[in-house]
Amino acid sequence: MPEQALFEPYSLGNLTLTHRTVMTPLTHNRASAGLVITEATHISA
């Protein structure tokens, strides 16, 4: 795939993506009921 194609819009069904670069989730957590805090979580008091 040419590098320029990475930054062109892409249609996936009814969804149109502005570019073809994606980032997957970086964290995974399992817990019982309650407050679960993972990375990149901001809690305002």
* pLDDT for position 14: 93
Is the pLDDT assigned to residue 16 strictly greater than 80?
Answer: yes
Residues 8 and 17: beta-carbon distance below 8 Å? no
Q: Quote the pTM value.
A: 0.36
Residues 36 and 23: beta-carbon distance below 8 Å? no
Q: What is the DSSP pairing of strand 15-17 with strand 10-12? A: antiparallel
Is the pLDDT assigned to residue 8 strictly greater than 80?
Answer: yes
End-to-end CA distance of the chain: 47
Between 11 and 43, residue with greater pLDDT: 11
Provide the CB-side half-sphere exposure for 17 (13 A, CA): 12
Measured distance CA(38)–CA(40) in Å, rounded:
7
What whole-number percentage of the chain has pLDDT above 70? Answer: 56
